[in-house]
Structure 1
Amino acid sequence: MNTKQLRLVVAALILVNFVTITIFLVKEKRANGAGLKKEIVATIGTREISRKEWLSELEARYGKEVLKDMIDQKVIKEMAEKNKIKVSKQDVEREFRMIQTTYHSASEKKQENEKKWKEQIRNSLLLEEILTKDVAVSEQEMRNYYNQNKDLFDIPTAFHLSQIIVKTKTEAEKSLKELSQGSSFSAMAMERSIDEFSANDGGDIGYISKDDDRYPFEYVQTAKNLKVGEWSMPIKVDQGYAILKLEGIIKGETYAFQDVKEEIRRQIALQQMKVPASARTFWDEARVSWFYGKDKND
């Protein structure tokens, strides 16, 4: 697995953890108060499912992992404060931009979640710093790593796009006319686009860059000539014709050695240690006591 693929996996895990925790906690919060037993969330013929039953099932299925993740985040903060360890805003921003440019679900319609994404990234970097704080890595070793892997520290220019795909050029031209008359791009994508995956998200396909093989090469070439908020003329694709809208741009950036020195030190140190980056390592030191006891295999 190359570094770019690894970043995709990390991004996916961050998102999955966030979504799972959010769903569980929001439902639990809403459930508190009177009427819990009586409130019905579903009916099937004469049968009913109450909110209490639903939340009990959520806790049974996901409660342990959600609680563990919440504890881990608190442990990381506790150990970081104890050891006076911090990570820079620049490091967090760089990792966030890399995730945006490589992971589809960094949709800007989810901007309200950006703060939580960055908090997850900050905690991950703090954990790496805590784990590697006593590992010595020479300046020369770090420079050698940088010189051999410079491309890993480049953030490519990425274009946040939405699309509408229709079968014929006539349909595409009709869609363009309606857009010029004020129709909503996202609403039209949901109603008309034959690409179900993006249509369900209002046409949003996230960020793509020149090395992205998920979409035709013409997508990036077309995006370069658009201003944010503009849409393109129809583009011939395998499914028919695509109309693209440019939602936003992340400008590419290349980082010098000094910019990524600490990241390199952490990565080399973690490789030398050959241990998983887990906050569970510090549970005893942080004096964790939780609902599920002390089984460290959980």
Structure 2
Amino acid sequence: MSRRFLMALIAVLLITNIATLMLWTRSGPGEVVEDEASDMQIDTKKPVASIDGDEITYEAWMAALRDNYGQKQLKTMIDRTVVNKLADQQGITVHEKVINREIALLASMQGVMTEEETEKMEEKWRDEIIYRYQLEALLAEGINVSEDDMRAYYDQYHNQYNFTESIQFSHILVEDQETAEKVKGELDNGASFSLLAKEYSIDEDTRDAGGYFGYYTTNSQFLPNGYKEKASEMEEYSYSEPFLTDQGYAIMYLHRSMPEITFTYDELKPYIKNELALVSSEVSLVADSLWDTMEIDWLYNK
């Protein structure tokens, strides 16, 4: 994975977190606001913290957020508006496979999330990914890259754009079928998979983590025998019937199942062209130069 691509992924994660913080500032005095990340209700009339009787008010907290992140976040919002407008005018779109591949990479860096948390996070990632690729296309406009250079780059690096089929799962491993059926019955009655794993599982490597195994590519030598096949029969966010493994009887919980994504040269060509153009011209991936194409008046230039 290239340094440029890795830094872009990190930027998506950082921007997403900062944007989440700034959602809290959209309130007036005396209101209850919701932290979308945790579904927590925040009463703006009450202190947000107390240290030996010294209180930190909601207003002081918001002022600190504005001081530290306000200008940066407002600039980010302007950048996105500029890029969105220019991309719409020029018909710049991002291939769905490219978006899905980057979402898959970002998801594979996360721990366990609920289905609702996953949907919210992927929606934010999608916006950031589209913005970044549209920004690259706009900045690379007018910079020539030869067909030979693009083809050579694809031949050497195309595998870094592919995504290998992967699953994220937990399991409960027990010694015999009778115990497995007992655990399955408790699951059917609404018991927590994680708590049952801590109570029953004989897998010492995952038991204390509630049975969590992690993300594995389906061709990994560390994926237990039979788990790939079992996962292929399951829906995400569901658990399996007990099944026999090399180590005993297992019940598998499938958090995520992400398919393989591969690209042809023609599918990647516009993105390779943009990347090579920006590298060769040493153009930074920022939207500042695009502001000149529009009339912009904002708080911090007064």
Do Structure 1 and Structure 2 share a fold, with TM-score over 0.5? yes
Q: What pairs up with 1:1-298 in 2 under 5 angstroms?
A: 2-3=1-2, 7-25=5-23, 27-29=24-26, 31-34=27-30, 38-82=45-89, 84-100=90-106, 102-104=108-110, 107=113, 108=115, 109-162=117-170, 177-181=182-186, 182=188, 183-188=190-195, 199=209, 207-209=215-217, 217-218=222-223, 222-226=227-231, 227-228=233-234, 229-231=238-240, 244-293=252-301
Amino acid at match of 1:230: Y
CA distance in 1, matches of 2:7, 2:112: 13
C-alpha root-mean-square deviation of aligned residues, in Å?
3.9
Displacement, 1:73?
1.1
Secondary structure in 1 matching 2:299: coil
Displacement, 1:184?
4.0
Secondary structure in 2 matching 1:249: strand
Does the 8 A contact of 1:153 with 1:255 survive in 2?
Answer: yes
CA distance in 1, matches of 2:198, 2:164: 33
Q: Identity across aligned pairs (percent)?
A: 24
Displacement, 1:146?
1.6
Displacement, 1:150?
3.0
Q: 1:225/1:135 Cα in 2 relative to 1: closer, same or farther (>3 Å)?
A: same
> Any gaps of 5 or more consecutive residues in structure 2?
32-42
Comparing 221-230 and 133-142, the one that deviates more = 221-230
Does the 8 A contact of 2:48 with 2:58 survive in 1?
Answer: yes
CA distance in 1, matches of 2:49, 2:16: 25
Alignment deviations for residues 24-83 of structure 1 (CA, whole Å, 9 cap, x no partner): 22x112x3143687432233343322211111122222223222222221121133245x
CA distance in 2, matches of 1:67, 1:204: 39
Comparing 105-114 and 271-280, the one that deviates more = 105-114
CA distance in 2, matches of 1:136, 1:34: 56
Comparing 45-54 and 225-234, the one that deviates more = 225-234
CA distance in 2, matches of 1:195, 1:40: 42
TM-score (norm 2): 0.73
Q: 1:135/1:8 Cα in 2 relative to 1: closer, same or farther (>3 Å)?
A: closer
Secondary structure in 2 matching 1:20: helix
Does the 8 A contact of 2:183 with 2:196 survive in 1?
Answer: no
Amino acid at match of 1:114: E
Secondary structure in 2 matching 1:155: coil
Q: 1:105/1:178 Cα in 2 relative to 1: closer, same or farther (>3 Å)?
A: closer
Q: 1:257/1:125 Cα in 2 relative to 1: closer, same or farther (>3 Å)?
A: same
> Any gaps of 5 or more consecutive residues in structure 1?
none
